[in-house]
Structure 1
Amino acid sequence: MGVNQSCRSPVFDEDEEVSFDHFQILRAIGKGSFGKVCIVQKKDSQQLYAMKYMNKQTCIERNIITNVMRELQLMQRLQHPFLVNLWYSFQDVEDVFMVVDLLSGGDLRFHLQQNVRFKEEMVKLYVCELALALCYLQRSHVIHRDVKPDNILLDEHGHVHITDFNVATEITASEKVTSMAGTKPYIAPEVFQSFVDGVSGYSYAVDWWSLGVTAYELLQGARPYDIHSSTTVGDVINIFREQRVCYSSNWSKGMTDLLRKLLMKDPVNRLSCWSDIQNCPFLSDVNWDAVLKKSVLPGFVPNKGRLNCDPTFELEEMILESKPLHKKKKRLEKSRNKHSNPLPAHIQTSLDTLRDEFIIFNREK
Structure 2
Amino acid sequence: MGANSSSKRPVFDDKEDVNFDHFQILRAIGKGSFGKVCIVQKRDTEKMYAMKYMNKQQCIERDEVRNVFRELEILQEIEHVFLVNLWYSFQDEEDMFMVVDLLLGGDLRYHLQQNVQFTEDAVRLYLCEMTLALDYLQSQHIIHRDIKPDNILLDEQGHAHLTDFNIATIIKDGERATALAGTKPYMAPEIFQSFVSGGTGYAFEVDWWSLGVTIFEVLRSWRPYDIHASNSVESLLQLFSTVSVQYSSSWNKDLVSLLRKLLTVNPEHRFCSLAQMQTAPYLSDVNWDDVYEKKMEPGFVPNKGRLHCDPTFELEEMILESRPLHKKKKRLAKNRSRDNSKDSQSVGETDSLSHTHTHTHTSQKSHFTLTVV
Rounded to whole Å, the distance in 2 between the matches of 1:164 and 1:327 is: 26
The alpha carbon displacement at 1:279 in A equals: 1.5
Aligned 1:23-172 pairs, distance under 5 A: 23-172=23-172
Q: Secondary structure at the match of 1:40?
A: strand
| AA at the equivalent of 2:321 | E
| AA at the equivalent of 1:117 | Q
- Post-superposition Cα deviations, 1:304-354, rounded to whole Å, max 9, x if no partner, equal 11110000000000000000000001000110122599xxxxxxxxxx9x9
| AA at the equivalent of 1:237 | L
- Post-superposition Cα deviations, 1:1-54, rounded to whole Å, max 9, x if no partner, equal xxxx96321011111111111101000000111110000001111110000001
Rounded to whole Å, the distance in 1 between the matches of 2:307 and 2:365 is: 28
Q: Secondary structure at the match of 1:286?
A: coil
Contact kept? 2:193, 2:199, Cα under 8 Å? no
Contact kept? 1:87, 1:362, Cα under 8 Å? no
Aligned 1:255-266 pairs, distance under 5 A: 255-266=255-266
Rounded to whole Å, the distance in 2 between the matches of 1:102 and 1:6 is: 27
Name the counterpart of 1:363.
364
Structure with larger Rg: 2
- TM-score, length of structure 2 as denominator length: 0.91
Rounded to whole Å, the distance in 1 between the matches of 2:308 and 2:224 is: 26
Matched, 1:19 2:19: yes
Name the counterpart of 2:228.
228
| AA at the equivalent of 2:15 | D
Q: Secondary structure at the match of 1:306?
A: coil
Name the counterpart of 1:330.
330
Rounded to whole Å, the distance in 2 between the matches of 1:323 and 1:44 is: 26
- Cα distance 1:310–1:224, how it changes in 2: closer, same or farther (>3 A)? same
Rounded to whole Å, the distance in 1 between the matches of 2:363 and 2:95 is: 17
Q: Secondary structure at the match of 2:286?
A: coil
Name the counterpart of 1:318.
318
- Cα distance 1:244–1:177, how it changes in 2: closer, same or farther (>3 A)? same
The alpha carbon displacement at 1:219 in A equals: 1.0
Q: Secondary structure at the match of 1:59?
A: helix
Q: Secondary structure at the match of 1:338?
A: helix
The alpha carbon displacement at 1:359 in A equals: 5.0
- TM-score, length of structure 1 as denominator length: 0.93
- Cα distance 1:30–1:47, how it changes in 2: closer, same or farther (>3 A)? same
- Cα distance 1:34–1:26, how it changes in 2: closer, same or farther (>3 A)? same
Q: Which runs of 5+ in 1 are unaligned?
A: 342-351
The alpha carbon displacement at 1:93 in A equals: 1.1
Contact kept? 2:25, 2:40, Cα under 8 Å? yes
Contact kept? 1:177, 1:202, Cα under 8 Å? yes
- Cα distance 1:267–1:228, how it changes in 2: closer, same or farther (>3 A)? same
Name the counterpart of 1:199.
199
Rounded to whole Å, the distance in 2 between the matches of 1:364 and 1:65 is: 20
Aligned 1:291-306 pairs, distance under 5 A: 291-306=291-306
- Cα distance 1:355–1:172, how it changes in 2: closer, same or farther (>3 A)? farther
Rounded to whole Å, the distance in 2 between the matches of 1:168 and 1:362 is: 23
| AA at the equivalent of 1:294 | K
Rounded to whole Å, the distance in 2 between the matches of 1:11 and 1:166 is: 33
Contact kept? 2:76, 2:365, Cα under 8 Å? no
Rounded to whole Å, the distance in 1 between the matches of 2:356 and 2:138 is: 32
Contact kept? 1:109, 1:149, Cα under 8 Å? yes
- Post-superposition Cα deviations, 1:195-234, rounded to whole Å, max 9, x if no partner, equal 1011320000000000000000011111000001111111
- Cα distance 1:12–1:364, how it changes in 2: closer, same or farther (>3 A)? same
| AA at the equivalent of 1:25 | I
Q: Secondary structure at the match of 2:267?
A: coil
The alpha carbon displacement at 1:95 in A equals: 0.9
| AA at the equivalent of 2:228 | H
- Post-superposition Cα deviations, 1:100-149, rounded to whole Å, max 9, x if no partner, equal 00010010000001110111111111000000000000000000000000
Contact kept? 2:153, 2:163, Cα under 8 Å? yes
Q: Which runs of 5+ in 2 are unaligned?
A: 343-352, 367-373
The alpha carbon displacement at 1:356 in A equals: 7.3
Structure 1 residue runs of 4+, over 4 Å off? 354-362
Total equivalences in the alignment: 350
- Cα distance 1:96–1:309, how it changes in 2: closer, same or farther (>3 A)? same
> Please, what is the CA RMSD of the aligned residues?
1.8
Rounded to whole Å, the distance in 1 between the matches of 2:356 and 2:218 is: 43
Aligned 1:267-278 pairs, distance under 5 A: 267-278=267-278
Rounded to whole Å, the distance in 1 between the matches of 2:134 and 2:66 is: 24
Which 10-residue stretch deviates more, 317-326 or 59-68? 59-68
User: Percent of counterpart pairs with the same letter?
Assistant: 62
